[in-house]
Structure 1
Amino acid sequence: MDRSEDQILVEELAALGAVSGGSGRLTGLVARLLKKNAHEIDVVVPLPFDDAVRRVIGVLERAGRSGRSAHLESGRDQEMIRVVTGGGAGGMNPVVVTALVTRGTGNRTEVKLRAAAKEGLIKQRAGEKTAARLAALLSQ
C-alpha cells in the first residue's frame, strides 16, 4: 500500500475538520495523537479464489464512501483490497478497511479482514464494529 492506515486516517480526519469549518491542519495534528482502534477477523469464503476476490471487492466497494473505489494490489496467490468507509456515530468516523485475500484449497479462500479507526474521548470502537459488520457480510 502506498499510504499507511495512520496516514489515511489523519488525512480523512483533517478533511472532515476543514469541511466542518475548522482548521484541517489543526485537526490533522490532533488526529496524529489519537489512539487507533483496530480489529482483525479471519473469514473463510466458500468460493474459488477469483470468485472470492470479486465478492470481497463488491462488499468493500459497497461499504466504502461514494467516489472512493477499492485499492487493489495483485499477486499470484493473494489480493489486497483497501477502502475507506464511515463508522461510529452517524458514520462520520473514517475507518480504513483492508482485506488480504489468500488462495486456499479447492473452493475455500481465506480472507484476513482488518478495520482501523482513530478513537477520541468517547470510545466508539469503530474499527471493531466495522470489521465485525463486514465479516458478517462476507460470510453470507
Structure 2
Amino acid sequence: MPDESEDALLVEALGALAGSGRSGAAFTAKRLKKNVGEASLLLPLGFDDALERVRGAMAEVSAGAEPWRVETGADGPGGTALRVMAGGGFGGLNPVVVTAVVNSDGEQGTGVRLRAAAKEGLIKQRAGEKTVDRLAGLLER
C-alpha cells in the first residue's frame, strides 16, 4: 500500500505536475510549508445520508474524482474517513489533499471534521483554507 500521508501525496502530485523535472520538484516540495484548513460541522442527517452528502461534496470540489476510504486513526466507532485529491489556487493547479472524518453523534445528527492541506510556495494562495471553506459551504447548503 502506498504512503497515505498528506505530505507524501502532495509531494507525489507536485512531482507529477513537473513532468521531466519530477525529481527536482519532489525534492523542493518536501521542503515547502503546508497551508492547512480545518472545520467541524454537525449535519442534521443520519450517518448514511451524511456520508453520501460528504462523498458528493468531495467529488464536486475535486472535479468529479471519487473519494477513497483511509485509516486515519481518527475515525472512531461507527466513523469513516474519506480522502480525495483536489485542485486549488490559481487555475486549480495546486494539489490539495482533502480529508473528511464522518462520525455519528447519535440523536443530534452526524459530525463531520474536514481538513484540507496544500503546499505553499512564495506566493501564498491559502489553497488548503479556501478548499475547506468551499467544502463546508457545500455541506451546509
Q: TM-score, normalised by structure 1?
A: 0.91
Contact 1:65 1:84 in 2 (8 A): no
- 1:80 match: secondary structure: strand
Measure the CA separation in 1 of the matches of 2:70 and 2:86: 19
Structure 1 residues 11 and 2 mapped into 2: Cα distance closer, same or farther (>3 Å)?
closer
Contact 1:115 1:128 in 2 (8 A): yes
| Cross-structure match for 1:30 | 28
Q: TM-score, normalised by structure 2?
A: 0.90
Q: Deviations along 1:21-47, whole A, 9 cap, x unmatched? A: x41111000000000001110011110
Matched, 1:10 2:11: yes
- 1:130 match: secondary structure: helix
| Cross-structure match for 1:125 | 126
RMSD: 1.7
| Cross-structure match for 1:71 | 68
Q: Which moved more, 1:34-43 or 1:54-63?
A: 54-63
| Cross-structure match for 1:52 | 50
Q: Deviations along 1:4-58, whole A, 9 cap, x unmatched? A: 000000000000011xxx4111100000000000111001111011110111011
Percentage of identical aligned residues: 48
Letter of the aligned partner of 1:83 in structure 2? Answer: V
Letter of the aligned partner of 2:140 in structure 1? Answer: S
Measure the CA separation in 2 of the matches of 1:15 and 1:126: 18
Q: How many residues align?
A: 136
Deviation of the 1:105 alpha carbon: 1.9
List, as ranges, runs of 4+ consecutive aligned residues in structure 1 with deviation greater than 2 Å.
Answer: 73-76
